Structure formats: C-alpha cells, structure tokens
Amino acid sequence: MDKNYKYLSYFLLLLIPLVFAGFFKTYIQPFPNFEEDINVYIHIHATLAVLWVAILIVQPFLIVNKKTALHKKIGKLTYIIFPLLILSFVPRIIRTYNLGEYPNLFFSLADGSLLILFYSLAVYNKRKTARHMRYMIASALVLLGPTVGRIGPILLGWSELQTQNVQYGIIYTILTGLVLYDLKNKRKYQPYLVAIGAYIIHQIIYHVIFL
C-alpha cells in the first residue's frame, strides 16, 4: 500500500458511527420489535451491508500489517458477497415500484450502479494496487448516500433536497481533497476524477428527477 495511505483504515472507521447514526431510529433502536415493513429482505440487505463495511475497513489494515495472503482471500470472497449485496437491492426496488413511488427508484438504482462501477474498476485493476485502492475508496463513499440520507431528515430535520445536496458537497470535498493530496505526492489520482465524473452524472439525474 502507498505509505501515504497507511492510515486509511482509521478514516474508514468513521463509517461505523455514521451508519449507526443513520440507521439508529429506523433499524437499530426498534430491534427486535420492527415495524411490519421491515421484512426478512431488509434484514438480509442490512447484514450484507454491514459485512461489506467491515471488509472495506479490514482490508487496508491487512495490507498495512503485511497480511497479503489473507487480504487476497477476503478479496476473492467479495466475488460472492458483492453480487449478493447488489441483489439485496432488488426487493426494495420491486416494493418501491409496486407502491408507485417511481422517482424513489433513483436511489437504489443510482447507488447500486455506482457500487458496480467502482467495484468492477477495482477488480479490473487488482494488479495495479494504486488504482485498485482508489476505486475501493470511491466505492466506500457510495455508503454516504444511505447514511447521510437518513441523518439529514431524521436527526437534523433537513429536507430531502437539502440533505442530498449536503451529501454531494461532502463527497466532492473528499474526492477533491484526495486529488490534491495525490497531486502533491505525485501519485495516481485519475480514479478520483472518474469518481467525480460519475457523481456529477448522479447529481444531474437526481435534479432532473426531483426538481
């Protein structure tokens, strides 16, 4: 791993309190007495999402501590876990469609598309460590969508539009900061430009649908 990223896992640990805050009132606090709309498919999706977050956090730690063999084994395990995670979006998509909430299909479809894009690029570049790592970082940022998307309206009382724009602002700030950091250290920043471009498309489509 690039020595400039040796503390990456510590930053990714921030995903834990964010996920906790985002899902506390709707999923964690009601446990085990959930509302009727929290079905087995939601539990499966939640389990896979937590497992994915754990993998994102653990993998850089393994590289830093030179546990390359275990890192590769977990990497191969994602060939199963990641498709299952993506498939776990399907019941929600079907439910949203059946309820006639067609604009809200955007969130599952768009975030799922970003995950597939960044993960696929990471796998394609698995032998190019610098690119692989940066695309996995980009995939981690996708998780800010469902977390910030709940923290804003549920905990802070923001409107959906305000929340979404804050989310984009946070992601652009992080990606821009990473580009500048890599430029300063003469590292390969191009994957972050791909991520910025993908999020610009994501934002344009969101505003076309909801404005």
Region 36-50: what's the mean pLDDT?
87
Residue 31 in this model has a pLDDT that exceeds 90? no
Mean pLDDT of the chain: 91
pTM metric for this prediction: 0.92
* pLDDT confidence bin for 94, thresholds 50/70/90: very high
How would you class 85 by CB atoms within 10 Å of its CB: exposed for 0-12, middle for 13-18, buried for 19 or more? Answer: buried
Confidence of residue 188 (pLDDT cuts 50, 70, 90): confident
pLDDT tier, 34 (very low <50, low <70, confident <90, very high otherwise): confident
* Top mean-pLDDT range of 1-10, 20-29, 34-43, 90-99: 90-99
- Using the predicted structure, report yes or no on whether residue 109 has a pLDDT greater than 80: yes
In sequence order, which residues have a C-beta less than 8 Å from that of residue 173 and are 6 or more positions away?
A: none
Residue-wise over 8-28: b if at least 16 C-beta within 10 A, else e?
bbeebeebeebbebbbeeebe
Residue 9 has pLDDT above 80, yes or no: no
For residues 58-80, average pLDDT: 92
- pLDDT at 45 > cutoff 70: yes
CB 142 within 8 A of CB 148: no
- Of the candidates 7, 8, 49, the residue with the CA atom closest to the CA atom of residue 147: 49
Helices (H) and strands (E) in the chain, counts: 10, 0
Q: What is the average per-residue pLDDT within 77-103?
A: 95
Q: What is the percent of the chain where pLDDT is above 90?
A: 67
* Rounded Cα distance, 13 and 26, in Å: 22
pLDDT given for residue 4 in this prediction: 62
Among the residue ranges 47-51, 63-67, 164-168, the one predicted with the least confidence is 63-67
Q: Which residues contact 156 (CB under 8 A, 6 or more apart)?
A: none
- Phi-psi group of 186: left, alpha or beta (phi > 0 → left; psi -120 to 50 → alpha; rest → beta): left
Average pLDDT, integer, range 21-43: 82
User: Residue 66: its pLDDT value, please?
Assistant: 87
